[in-house]
Amino acid sequence: MVHCTEMKKGEVYYCDECGLEFQIINECQGCGTSEDTCEHVECRFVCCDRFIKIKK
């Protein structure tokens, strides 16, 4: 599972079910420093009922 605090500017993430891709333009600035300190459930990214993956 990818969390917003792990996403870095320029990285591309995708859904392996539908093929949707998106690139990180700005890094997370306000949720905390890790998944454990994040107050927002919606920072866990899911598409087609699957967690997104980083494109390498």
For residues 55 and 13, what is the distance between their CA atoms, to the nearest angstrom? Answer: 5
User: Which residues pair with residue 46 across a beta bridge?
Assistant: 51
Domain boundaries, the chain: 4-54
pLDDT for 26? 94
Mode of pairing for the β-strands spanning 46-47 and 50-51:
antiparallel
Q: Edge to edge, what strands does the sheet with 12-14 contain? A: 21-23, 12-14, 53-54
Predicted model pTM: 0.76
Q: What is the mean pLDDT of residues 8-18?
A: 96
Whether 8 shows a pLDDT value over 90: the answer reads yes
14-47 residue pLDDT tens: 999 999 999 999 988 766 555 566 666 667 788 9
Who wins on pLDDT, 53 or 31? 53
